[in-house]
Amino acid sequence: MFTKQCIVTLDMEGVLTPEIWIAVAQKTGIPELKLTTRDIQDYDELMKGRLEILAREHLKLSDIQKIIGSLPLLEGAKDFLDTLRDEAQVIILSDTFQEFAYPLLKKMDLPTIFCHNLIVQNDQIVSYKLRLQDQKKHTVEMLRSLNFKVFASGDSFNDTGMLLAADKGVFFCAPQTVTDKFPTLEATHSYKELLDTFHKFEDTL
């Protein structure tokens, strides 16, 4: 049972679930879809490239949703999230889309998520709509303005704004290409280590 005014914000893909686009690349045999925000920091550039590939390969939203529905959570993710949600309020901050996230959220007992939306015509993904530019960072800033202490964790370049804005930001299983550019941020490599780091932060409140 949580008693302190603390909120944990987590990235979804790479922290709790597999990377959706990498899974789609593996299932479809389209290697260009393996690129993520670990590889391309400009999210708009990354998404425009993905949409071009989907149109070229005639991949529909329903095709991608079928692949997502077959994905497991990362090993240990459910137990970690259950433990964390018993100790603090948790919000998932993700740059995925509601149309992609739901099958995975069901496997996590439907935690709160802030993410984006796809624009779909006749089952074809034609564009996307961001809920807010740099929404992870802005959400953390707003939570802190409401007098919450925020502990944040993510694994990629698009998480760094959130991590730097939080009272405590921690990498989780991030590649060295990411962590090397942000040496002031602590890096964790297992759910136990991440949970231990959260407990140390909580003890300071």
Question: Are 108 and 81 spatial neighbours (Cβ–Cβ below 8 Å)?
Answer: yes
How far is it, in rounded angstroms, from Cα 159 to Cα 93? 9
Residue of 11, 19, 99, 159 marked active site: 11
HSE-up (13 A, CA, CB side) for residue 44? 5
Distance CA 74, CA 20 (A): 12
**Does the active-site annotation cover 13?**
yes
DSSP classification of residue 29: T
* H-helix or E-strand spanning residue 107: helix 98-107
For residue 12, which of 178, 161, 126, 159 has the smallest C-alpha distance? 159
- Residue 164 Cα to chain centre, angstroms: 16
Q: Which residues are catalytic?
A: 11, 13
